[in-house]
A and B are shown apart, each in its own frame.
Chain A
Amino acid sequence: MSSIEITIRNPSGLHARPAAQLSTFCKQFPNDVALSGGGRTSNPKSIFSLLASGFKKGDLVTVTVEGEGAQEIAAKIVSFINSLEG
């Protein structure tokens, strides 16, 4: 299991398009992934779950990945979140 903390940077947070992009990105990994923060947890492979969590710019969230290759995958996801625009 690997957990990495990250602060959401892009202006609209995990709304609409960024959420769509993130869910598509996470789906490529067979591992279980969770995104949690401020008492909410979401499944980033599900756009509905992301939209409902309403993570905004400035929120501190934790990316948690289970299973094989967890560390590398968590790092990739964090990197992706950091690259989100809009």
Chain B
Amino acid sequence: MTMMILCLICPVSRGNAESETLKGNPASKKVEQSMSACIAEASRLKLPIATLQARLQEALVKKVSDEKIVTALEHHLQALIAAQKILEKAAGRNRESRTTEILTALARAIESGLPPEIFEELFKDQRGVFSYRMQALIEAGEMLYLGGISQESVKIFMLECKNRDMPRKATIRAASFWMQRHQEGLDTDEILRRLWGGEVSRP
């Protein structure tokens, strides 16, 4: 069972999996069972398991308790499921090659505390077309939320970037600008005015 977990963590370098991962970080039976269950469920739902593997790897390196590892894995799985529901609702069965990256970014944002409803509204007229810019949008929204920006302001920001079809760099730069102005004490309206001249379409 331990070797199976190790193989799941390091699918490429299986020969060195034991030396790299078990180096002072053995996984208990409880963690192995939880990881197996999460992977089985993720596979059944056709969810990416790479982030589950990364989560486990992070936990093992940081030498956290088994209970925390199990909780983190299950929490991450639930975030992936919630993200998948949002994308399926927006895209139907029409999946594109970028969906895995979008789904992973969306799961992370939900795990960080952003409510799924924000993204449901963001994606409602996508018709199954998700671009690399949408991934940047989600990550920028998460960045703002983690920086202390309100959910409402995050929603306004993401909708505005989406409507303007902003490329990744511009989206990240705009998010950084918002963060810095927020730290200076400016309110949302003033930040919007400075960013886009106040010409925004509020939801």
Q: Do A and B bind each other?
A: no
Chain A residues near B (Cβ < 8 Å): none
